[in-house]
Amino acid sequence: MSINAQVQRCQVSHKASVVFYILDSYTGYPVTHASIQIADIPLRPYVNKKDGYYVFTNLESTDYTFVIEADSYMKVTRKVNVGEQAPPVLPIHLQHRSDSKLIQDTTRIELKLRDQQHKPIEVGKEILVALLSHSVCARAIEDTAADETHLPIYSNQGHALVGKQWLIHRGDNQIEVVKIIDYVSKEGRYTIEKPLASPLEIGTLLYPAWSLLTDEQGVVLLPLPKTFIQEEVELYIYIDESYQKQQVKLQPGRKSEIIITAEGE
């Protein structure tokens, strides 16, 4: 007598977690009053650890769209693949709204983006804004070849450069944006997130840069560093693969407004 035993395999569903670290893009301080929702899964519980960390647990290993909101900040939407390959912590930098009450006494620049018909450009349009000022720039102190990830840079700001974007402005209006992720003080070298696309010559200046998204009125807000004391500043504005330079007169502790017209085809 033969017995045919049919074994049915059960697929085990592994649960996963995701951790967000939410920061103020201007101060770098944790944002502790944010709310996070998963699209199509309303009121999914999570843990707010009150130090900027927000933890979701017991999730299926799949793609989720997270919507992050906080008073005075612009809403952020992130699609995340939650599973074994997910980063242990996902940093999120929240951008201030133009009507933010948290920076009312801060020297800041409001850029109003307009199309060729003088109408506000669409919400969520990303632009790059760099501050072309010698008082806040860094400088390359050695020639560095392309594909390098360690840059010898001089700056009196030390570790303050870490976690920020920097614009390398080469000749013929060639630009490259790098993000510094680490600093080895003994060597005076900074580590960037991705290898250099082109060589970096000694003496080249690196300027602080921000990637900003337009709000519903086509506006972006750039709060300036508290140590910035110039009465006038030059901005480098990069949008739709074209750039503009703008001189802005500053009002200490107040908002200065400029209108930027995006170039049409």
pLDDT digits (tens, 9 = 90+) for 137-151: 899 999 999 999 999
Return the structure tokens found at 178: 């790098």
Cα–Cα distances (Å) from 158 to 1, 73, 135, 176, 235, in that order, read 81, 28, 14, 21, 23
Say which CATH class 15-94 falls into.
Answer: mainly beta
* Rounded CA Rg of the chain: 23
* Residue-wise DSSP of 185-204: TTTTEEEESS--SS-B-TT-
Give residue limits of the domains in the chain: 15-94, 102-265
**Among all chains, which residue has been given the structure tokens 């049919």?**
6
SS3 161: helix
Work out the pLDDT band at 10, boundaries 50, 70, 90.
Answer: very low
What is the enclosing helix (H) or strand (E) of 29?
Answer: none
Task: Give pTM, 2 decimals.
Answer: 0.79
Q: Would the pLDDT of 86 be above 80? A: no
Same fold yes or no, 15-94 and 102-265: yes
Main-chain phi, psi angles of 171, to 5 degrees = -65, 165
Query: Per-residue pLDDT averaged across 226-252, rounded?
Result: 88
- Domain 102-265, architecture per CATH: Sandwich (2.60)
